[in-house]
Amino acid sequence: MSARPEKHSLTLHGHRTSVSLEPEFWQAFRDIAKARGLPLNALAAEVDEARGVDRGLASAIRVYVLNHHRQPPID
């Protein structure tokens, strides 16, 4: 497991921003976007809109990924 975050650029509502996440979180976030049939930027925009003002985007993405994997599987 890599301890160093990787910085990637995202476009949210027409504006570029960079987010630093550990590679494992990037991969999980990409996997969720693919499973939902969404571009990564669209999923990031959803997370951005849902986060509170006291939470940064990187933290919001980590929590989103964690919560996604905590959900019980649908049979």
What pLDDT sits at residue 52? 85
Give domain status of residue 75, yes or no: no
Domain count, the chain: 1
| 16-73 residue pLDDT tens | 999 999 999 999 999 999 999 999 999 999 999 999 889 999 999 999 999 998 876 6
Q: Model-level pTM greater than 0.85?
A: yes
Give domain status of residue 20, yes or no: yes
How many CA atoms, within 13 angstroms, populate the side-chain half-sphere of residue 54? 0
What pLDDT sits at residue 74? 64
Give domain status of residue 3, yes or no: no
What pLDDT sits at residue 32? 97
What pLDDT sits at residue 69? 86
Taking 70 as the threshold, does the pLDDT of residue 2 lie above it? no
Structural domain including 35 reads 8-70
Give domain status of residue 33, yes or no: yes
Give domain status of residue 1, yes or no: no
